[in-house]
Amino acid sequence: MIEAADLVKEFSRPAVLPGRLPRLRGLFSTRREVTRAVNGVSFEVEPSELVGYLGPNGAGKSTTIKMLTGILQPTSGVCRVSGLEPAADRARNARNIGVVFGQRTQLWYDLPLRDSFEVLADLYGLDRSTYRRRVGLFTELLDLSEFLDTPVRSLSLGQRMRGDLVAAMLHEPSILFLDEPTVGLDVVAKARLTEFIVETNRTDGTTVVLTTHDMEDVERLCRRIIVIDAGTVLYDGDLTRLRERFMPYRFLVLTVAERSVRRGVEIPLATEVGTAAVGAVLPYPDRCVVLRFDPRKIATPELIARASQVYQVDELSIVDPRLTDVISQLYEGLPT
Ligand SMILES: Nc1ncnc2c1ncn2[C@@H]1O[C@H](COP(=O)(O)OP(=O)(O)OP(=O)(O)O)[C@@H](O)[C@H]1O
């Protein structure tokens, strides 16, 4: 469905010259500085996949998305989306894809939301019955009825994002590119949006490429992630396997009756760590014991049984390392 093969994008701009009045001198210089934003990225996305495209600031995520949507022409390499070359076949590509850039809107600020949808429906040549069916469906799923007639400039960020999603999906695209769709949204708005994305992917089989810094979104939505840094792919695969490779342990979090119930018994294959390692997970940190263990070396029930011999346990839970920490580890290239 989507194919990127050795994709490269360079940006070139006039060099900043040293010395006095650099900007003025730059006007008369032919020297240019080149930034290689995407540096040989290759991947494939199958129909109906929901893939997270992750990376730190400036990694080249948006630049990749812009090449796949036809906004930018690659410097070299090839990309194909539903068999089309996006930059060369922009109009046809636009019929197959929906795009949301969270930082920008494709709606018209002065028009009520409904009128923006009408304009887009005309642009896509949707017949009236399809248009009505789609807007009806989205109005219900995303709860738009209260603000359909409100000018876009007066919408809250969450309402505007919901409007942008509908705008991207009116023409029933088979592929959705979402570039930070939940940035700045509160938890309720975020949950509504992510549910909608999951539902669209599941029921319509829409292929989704999602760029985000929000690891909660990633955990909720994606089984597969592609991680890039400095324009190069660092990891492409299953989220579970990423955890296994970079942080192959889990935490057993215990609330104990008293901190002093140790009876000098060792718990092999588990290390006691501070709550900071898993975040403050319990309301009584002074009675909280956190054991780090490798589930490949000791089965969780066995560890729990052993821990119960050492501590008088009131409550327990198993916590995985935070995805943020796993990804940071990946950026640093330090498998444990
Ligand atoms: N139009 C442009 N002209 C020059 N350099 C650019 C341009 N667009 C992006 N870049 C540079 O390319 C690199 C990658 O930028 P890009 O926006 O793709 O990163 P990103 O991974 O989406 O980052 P973020 O998470 O901050 O949005 C950065 O160094 C950026 O400064």
**pLDDT one-digit tens code per residue, 306-336:** 888 888 888 899 988 888 888 888 887 755 4
Instruction: Enumerate residues 6+ apart whose C-beta is below 8 A from 273.
Output: 251, 290, 291, 292
Place of tokens 């409007």: 163
Which of the listed residues 9, 13, 63 should we mutate to test ligand 1's pocket, taking the one with most ligand atoms within 8 A of CB?
63
CA–centroid distance, 62 to ligand 1, in Å, is: 7
pLDDT of residue 336: 45
pLDDT of residue 273: 80
pLDDT of residue 206: 93
At 45, the pLDDT band (50, 70, 90 cuts) reads very high
Query: Quick check: 184 and 147 in contact, CB under 8 A?
Result: no
Query: Quick check: 224 and 49 in contact, CB under 8 A?
Result: yes
pLDDT of residue 183: 83
- Going by alpha carbons, the residue nearest to atom 1 of ligand 1 is 11
In the structure encoding, which two tokens stand for residue 307, read together? 């821990």
267: how many CB neighbours lie within 10 A of its CB?
18
Q: For residues 219, 222, 225 and 229, what is the CA-based torsion angle, rounded to 10 degrees?
A: -60
Out of 58-62, 211-215, 279-283, least confident range: 279-283
Q: For residues 54, 55, 59 and 62, what is the CA-based torsion angle, rounded to 10 degrees?
A: 30
The residue-averaged pLDDT of 268-291 equals 76
Q: Mean pLDDT for the chain?
A: 87
Query: Would you put residue 299 in left (φ > 0), alpha (ψ -120 to 50) or beta?
Result: beta
pLDDT of residue 118: 92
CA–centroid distance, 174 to ligand 1, in Å, is: 27
pLDDT of residue 38: 96
Stated pTM of the model: 0.83
At 10, the pLDDT band (50, 70, 90 cuts) reads very high
pLDDT of residue 7: 96
Question: Where would I find the beta strands (DSSP E) of 191-321?
Answer: 207-211, 224-229, 232-238, 250-256, 270-273, 288-293, 313-319
The residue-averaged pLDDT of 188-198 equals 86
pLDDT of residue 283: 66
Percent of the chain's residues with pLDDT above 90: 43
Which of the listed residues 12, 32, 35, 214 should we mutate to test ligand 1's pocket, taking the one with most ligand atoms within 8 A of CB?
35
Residue 145 to residues 137, 140, 152, 162, 209: CA-CA distances in angstroms? 11, 8, 14, 12, 28
Best mean pLDDT range from 75-79, 104-108, 182-186: 75-79
DSSP conformation class of 35: E
Give the residue with greater pLDDT, 82 vs 24: 82
CA–centroid distance, 71 to ligand 1, in Å, is: 14
Cα first-last separation, the chain: 35
At 142, the pLDDT band (50, 70, 90 cuts) reads confident
- Nearest 5°: the CA angle 121, 122, 128 is 65
Q: pLDDT of 194-222, one tens digit each?
A: 888 898 899 889 999 999 988 888 988 99
Pocket of ligand 1 (CB under 6 A): 11, 13, 35, 37, 55, 57-63
C-alpha 248/C-alpha 326 separation (Å) is 10
CA–centroid distance, 63 to ligand 1, in Å, is: 6
> Which own/partner contact pairs does 17-21 have at CB distance under 8 Å and 24+ positions apart?
none
The number of the ligand 1 atom at minimal distance from the alpha carbon of 63 is 18
Q: Walk me through the domains of the chain, giving residue ranges and CATH numbers.
A: 2-243 (3.40.50.300), 249-320 (no CATH)
Give the residue with greater pLDDT, 159 vs 28: 159
The number of the ligand 1 atom at minimal distance from the alpha carbon of 12 is 4
